[in-house]
Homo-oligomer: A and B are copies of this chain.
Amino acid sequence: MLDSPFDAPPTNGAQRRHVMDRTGGAQAGSGHPDAVGFRPLYRQVYDTLLKRLADAVWQPGQILPSEGQLAAELGVSQGTVRKALDALTADSLLVRRQGRGTFVADHDDKQSVFRFFKLRPDREGAGMPTSRVVAIAEAAASADERGRLDLVRSARVVRIERLRALDGRLCLIETISVPASLFPGIAQMELPNTLYSLYAIRFGITIATANERLKAVALGAREAGLLEVAAGLPALEVDRIAVDLEDRPVEWRLSICLTQELHYRSVLR
| Interface set of A (CB-CB < 8 Å, partner B) | 91-92, 115-116, 118, 120, 122, 208-218, 234-236, 239, 257, 259, 262-269
Contacts and interface: CB of A to CB of B under 8 A. Distances in A.
B265 A92 contact: no
A96 to B, nearest CB: 15
Contacts of A213: 120, 122, 263-266
Contacts of A218: 234
A212 B265 contact: yes
B210 A115 contact: no
Nearest to A214: B264
A215 B217 CA distance: 11
A212 B118 contact: no
A262 B215 CA distance: 8
B118 A268 contact: yes
Contacts of A259: 214-216
Contact of A209 (B118, B234, B264, B267): B267
A110 B264 CA distance: 27
Given A234-B217, A235-B216, A209 B265 contact: no
